[in-house]
Structures are given as structure tokens and as C-alpha cells.
Amino acid sequence: MSNRNILWLFLLQVVFNGCTSYEEQRNQLPDTPDRGQISISVDETFKPVMDELVQVYQSNHPQTKIEVDYKTEADCLRDALSDSVRLLFVTRRLSLEEKALLADSLRLNARSLVVARDAIAVIVHPNSPDTIFSMQEIKEILTGKYKKKLIPVFDGIKATSTVRFIVDSVLKGDSLTPAAMAARSSEGVVDFVARNQGVVGFVGVGWVGNPEDSLQMSFLKKVKVAHLESTDKKGAYVKAYQANIYAKRYPMVRDLVYVLKERHRGLATGFAHFVSGELGQLIFRRAYLAPAQKRLGIRPVKLNE
């Protein structure tokens, strides 16, 4: 056999062994995008849409199991330092300090991406005469200076993304009234507002913004969603509708961000790519949130706001 033929045989063997090695390595991974089981941490505010995203992904990948642990944003961010949690869904990216701590403790770099935008909806008792608020009035309610005694109710006084947004983006240095109340969850806020007329609830729009969801429709029968002062037209007031969130006409809009900290291309990576891909973005759109990675077409229509 000539030296040339021997060289070709050697090269073919290297290629063949390389392919076999790749398959063997893949099979040894604890999980891949289409098989395995993982736990992810998700801000409780986004439970309605996340339940649907997980259900569709598992339906398309029947050998996968995604266990979702819904908790406060602060607890989710603490999970960033846990090696067992490789994917988080929160309303902000990691800070430089958090990234440095993650790199130091776990020796990895986290990737993040804004996948959708939602809003904080303001809800009131169905018999409440107050359903239209300026942002100055919202701030007065939050600080206890409003002309009427309306008590703000949140999904927790500390550690939640809703409270953090209110403190950072609305109060901007002012103190939240000590009369503010906390429910155990977003659903608890809806129930409390439905039973008490002198309160104003603050919840993620994912709990009350989808008229096609039977659970949210039952919530909308118990409370009213208030109009807030528009950001782009003086004297105009808007609800947290999808188009208003997308165009940021609604004044309390925030991001939904995934934080991915997976060393290999596993199930967490597969689900993150799904959420930011065509089908995942369509699910956000159907849930009446604003997709951040796919263009949302807006047509001019007349709304009775």
C-alpha cells in the first residue's frame, strides 16, 4: 500500500474516531436540549406565562422535565450562586459585583438576554370610584400623602421585583408608606383588593392582562384595572395593554431577563433559546406581554380607554 493511501486511511480513522467520541461525550452529559431534567428559578410575577412556556417546550421535547421554582426576585438572584440552578428569569441583569462573585465562586460567566417586557398593573376594588391616576397621584398613594386614604398592597414588602421597581423607578428616593401591606403572592394581591375597597394593588400585568386566559378572566371579574397617565400625551390615560407596553406609553414598564449560567449546551441552554426564539416570542405575544426579540406589529385601532 502506498504512503498516500496509508495517509488517507489514517485521516479517515481520525475523523471516524472524532465523531464517535463526540456522540459518546454527548451521551455522558447530564442533559441536552432534548433530554434530561433541570430546575430553574423564576420570579413569581411571571408564573402565568412561564407555565405555558414550559408546557409547550416539554410537549415538543417529551424526554425533558423542567421543574420551576417560583419565588421572589431576590431569592432567584441568590440562586445565581447555586451550582444546581443554571437558569433564572428575573427583571434585571446581574450587576458587575454579582458577575464578579459568580466568576470567583463558580468559575463561570453568566449570559443574559431581555426576552420580553411587561408592566406593573394597578388594580382597585370593582366598586372603587378611583380608576384613573396620574403618576404623581400614584407616588402620593405609595408615600401615604394621597388626598384619600388608599393603602398600597404588594406581593411582599421586601425582596420582590414589583417592590424594587416601585422603590427604584417610581419613588426614586422617597420612602414607602409604613401602612403598605403585603400579600403572599400576586394572586393574593388580587384576592385582597377584591375584598377591600380602600386599597390599591400592584401586580405584574401577566396576572390580569390576558383576556383569553380563564384564570385571569376570573380575576378581572373581581377587580378593576386602573388607567395611568400616558408617557407621550399630556392629559391622556392608558391601561397596561400590550401595545402601550411595547411603545412604552404605559409608565411602569420593566424587562423580563433570562440569566443563563450553564457550562455545556444542555437543557437550560435549549430552553433559553426556545424562550427567545420564534415560538417562545409568540407565546409572550399571546400572553399579552411585549416580545423583546421579535418585532411586534402594531396596527392603528381605536380603543375605548
Residues 135 and 201 grouped into a single domain? yes
Would you say residue 64 has pLDDT above 60? yes
Cβ proximity of 182 and 157 under 8 Å: yes
Residues 180 and 125 grouped into a single domain? yes
Condensed to tens digits (0 to 9), the pLDDT of residues 188-234 reads 999 999 999 999 999 999 898 887 888 778 878 899 999 999 999 88
Residues 132 and 184 grouped into a single domain? yes
Distance separating alpha carbons of residues 227 and 241, to the nearest angstrom: 10
Q: Residue 30's pLDDT band (boundaries 50, 70, 90)? A: confident
Would you say residue 300 has pLDDT above 60? no
Confidence (pLDDT) at 69: 96
Confidence (pLDDT) at 305: 46
Distance separating alpha carbons of residues 291 and 134, to the nearest angstrom: 27
Q: Residue 22's pLDDT band (boundaries 50, 70, 90)? A: very low
The residue segments making up the domain with residue 282 are 36-117+254-291
Q: What is the mean pLDDT of the chain?
A: 88
Q: Residue 3's pLDDT band (boundaries 50, 70, 90)? A: low
Is residue 21 a part of any domain in this protein? no
Rounded to 5°, angle at Cα 123 from 120 and 126: 165
Distance separating alpha carbons of residues 91 and 115, to the nearest angstrom: 10
For 129, phi then psi, to 5°, come to -80, -15
Give the list of residues 6+ apart from residue 11 with CB closer than 8 angstroms, or none. none
Residues 125 and 245 grouped into a single domain? yes
Is residue 91 a part of any domain in this protein? yes
Is residue 240 a part of any domain in this protein? yes
Residues 236 and 128 grouped into a single domain? yes
Cβ proximity of 110 and 94 under 8 Å: yes
Please classify residue 147 by burial: count the beta carbons closer than 10 Å to its beta carbon, then call 0-12 exposed, 13-18 middle and 19+ buried: exposed
Would you say residue 48 has pLDDT above 60? yes
Is residue 27 a part of any domain in this protein? no
Condensed to tens digits (0 to 9), the pLDDT of residues 119-149 reads 999 999 999 999 999 999 999 999 999 999 9
Condensed to tens digits (0 to 9), the pLDDT of residues 8-20 reads 555 556 555 555 4
Is residue 224 a part of any domain in this protein? yes
Residue 181's CATH number: 3.40.190.10
The single-letter DSSP state of residue 134 is -
**Total structural domains in the chain?**
2
Q: Residue 303's pLDDT band (boundaries 50, 70, 90)? A: very low
Confidence (pLDDT) at 219: 78
Condensed to tens digits (0 to 9), the pLDDT of residues 167-189 reads 999 999 899 999 999 998 999 99
Catalogue the E-assigned strands of 155-269.
181-182, 199-204, 224-225, 227-229, 237-238, 253-260
Residues 127 and 227 grouped into a single domain? yes
Is residue 14 a part of any domain in this protein? no
Residue that the C-alpha cell 442533559 belongs to: 31
Is residue 98 a part of any domain in this protein? yes
